[in-house]
Structure formats: structure tokens, C-alpha cells
């Protein structure tokens, strides 16, 4: 932080513009209170601004400000300063986003359920796509569905649904055929999640396409070779 014209200022987590102390409704969690507002009008509450734990930030965002727009919720989560461009945070980000989306659609989702999904998906190590052939983003979707469906190894229908969701997500990730991109993997996993949820639970809209909001921040972006690139 820096002092400018006698006011304590901090860079906006969304656009990096100078921000000053004020009151408003938080972009991330929707809570009204004290925080920082930038010159472009972005307001972030003190809790979201100061939360360093990715899992705590994601749970807060998805529980307090869920959305019926799956991509909007995912993008808002990925804009939080605790979430890097790439990293294992995306493995449980998909869990939180899917459950937050389902909460907004009217399903019963508690904080405990979200923490349970995070606990399951957080164990997938970083770089597992290259070192194990297993991308964690689809696994996060599988964990979220398992929590919602109360899946266990002894429930054949629910177990199969979760396995198929992970399998289809991995297939979409594999089809991109490039170096790792956790944003593309996240979008791939969420497209599958929307399809499975519609088929199994009968709610939500199936994502037919997604346009990436982070391509200009990724030095390894595949550009037009990526199905989510804005110029597609």
C-alpha cells in the first residue's frame, strides 16, 4: 500500500488502478461494508482483499455470492488475487464453482458440503496433468457431484455419474493438445459439469461455448488453437 494525497491506497485486484478506502458491495462476495474502491469503480471488501488462502476465498465467494451463470462465477473466482494464472488451486476451484452454481439454482448446498468437496479435490497435486496424466479440474467437478449426489463406492448409479463426468472432462482437456492451461482445463471441466447436471438433475443451462477472459495474461496461450480463445 502507499499513501497518496493523505489517503492510504492499494492497487485494485481487478485492474491494478489506485484504490482508496470506502464503503460498497464487494465484487467478489457481494457483502456490503468497508473496503477499497478503485478509480474505475471496482469495490473489494476488506475480507476478500486480505484473504490469502485460496480455498477460503473460493468458499466465501461461492457461498455468499453464488451465480446462475456458471462462467461468470468461475471468472470471478479466478480473478481473486489468491488464484494464480496456473496452479493446483484450480483443482478445487471447480468444486466450489459447481456447488455455488447449484446453490444459485436452488439446490441445498451448505458450507460443510463445499468444504467436503474441497477436501477431496485439494489432494490432487500441482502438475498432475503432466506427471500423472490426471488434470485436477475435472476431478474437482467429480468431487462436487459426489457431494451433491451423496455418491459412495457402493452406489453404482451415482458413482458412474461422477466417473463419467471426470472422464469426459479429461477428454476435453486432452483434445486441446497443448501445454498446460489451467483456465482452459477449468472451462473444459465446467462445460462437462453443465451437461451432466442438466442430464442428471434437470437444472441449469448446458454450456455450448465459453470465451476465455484470461488469454492476454497467459504467456503460453495457444491463441486461435484453443477452443476458448476470444478470437475463435
**Bridge pairing between strands 2-4 and 7-11:** antiparallel
pLDDT of 231 reads 83
Give pLDDT tens digits for 168-211. 999 999 999 999 999 999 999 999 999 999 999 999 999 999 99
pLDDT at residue 3 greater than cutoff 50: no
Mean pLDDT value across the chain:
95
Three cell numbers written together for 32: 456490503
CA neighbours closer than 13 Å in the CB half-sphere of residue 38: 15
**Bridge pairing between strands 43-45 and 32-38:** antiparallel
Largest CA distance in the chain: 64
Give pLDDT tens digits for 16-35. 999 999 999 999 999 999 99
**Measured CA angle at 219 (ends 217, 220), to 5 deg:** 120
pLDDT of 9 reads 64
0.85 surpassed by pTM: yes
* Percent of the chain residues topping a pLDDT of 90: 93
CA-closest candidate to residue 36, choices 74, 4, 60: 4
pLDDT at residue 4 greater than cutoff 60: no
Three cell numbers written together for 193: 459439469
Cα–Cα dist 209/230, whole Å: 11
pLDDT of 5 reads 40
pLDDT of 6 reads 37
Distances (CA, A) of 66 to 71, 150, 163: 11, 21, 25
pLDDT at residue 129 greater than cutoff 90: yes
Which residue's entry shows cell 451463470? 69
* Percent of the chain residues topping a pLDDT of 70: 96
Give pLDDT tens digits for 162-175. 999 999 999 999 99
Amino acid at each position: 500500500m502507499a499513501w497518496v494525497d493523505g489517503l492510504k491506497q492499494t492497487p485494485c485486484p481487478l485492474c491494478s488502478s489506485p484504490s482508496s478506502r470506502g464503503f460498497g458491495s464487494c465484487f467478489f462476495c457481494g457483502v456490503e461494508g468497508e473496503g477499497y474502491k478503485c478509480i474505475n469503480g471496482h469495490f473489494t471488501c476488506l475480507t476478500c482483499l486480505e484473504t490469502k488462502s485460496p480455498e477460503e476465498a473460493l468458499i466465501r465467494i461461492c457461498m455468499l455470492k453464488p451465480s446462475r451463470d456458471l462462467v461468470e462465477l468461475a471468472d470471478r473466482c479466478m480473478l481473486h488475487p489468491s488464484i494464480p494464472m496456473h496452479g493446483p488451486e484450480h483443482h478445487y476451484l471447480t468444486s466450489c464453482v459447481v456447488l455455488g452454481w447449484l446453490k444459485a439454482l436452488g439446490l441445498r448446498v451448505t458450507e460443510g458440503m463445499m468444504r467436503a468437496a474441497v477436501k477431496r479435490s485439494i489432494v490432487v497435486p500441482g502438475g498432475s496433468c503432466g506427471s500423472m496424466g490426471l488434470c485436477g479440474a475435472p476431478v474437482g467437478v467429480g468431487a462436487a457431484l459426489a457431494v451433491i449426489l451423496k455418491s459412495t463406492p457402493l452406489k453404482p448409479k451415482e458413482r458412474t455419474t461422477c466417473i463419467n463426468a471426470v472422464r469426459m472432462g479429461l477428454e476435453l482437456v486432452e483434445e486441446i493438445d497443448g501445454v498446460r492451461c489451467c483456465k482452459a482445463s477449468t472451462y473444459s471441466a465446467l462445460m462437462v459439469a453443465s451437461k451432466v447436471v442438466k442430464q442428471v438433475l434437470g437444472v441449469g443451462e448446458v454450456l455450448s461455448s465459453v470465451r476465455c477472459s484470461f488469454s492476454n495474461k497467459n504467456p503460453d496461450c495457444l491463441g486461435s488453437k484453443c477452443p476458448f480463445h476470444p478470437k475463435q
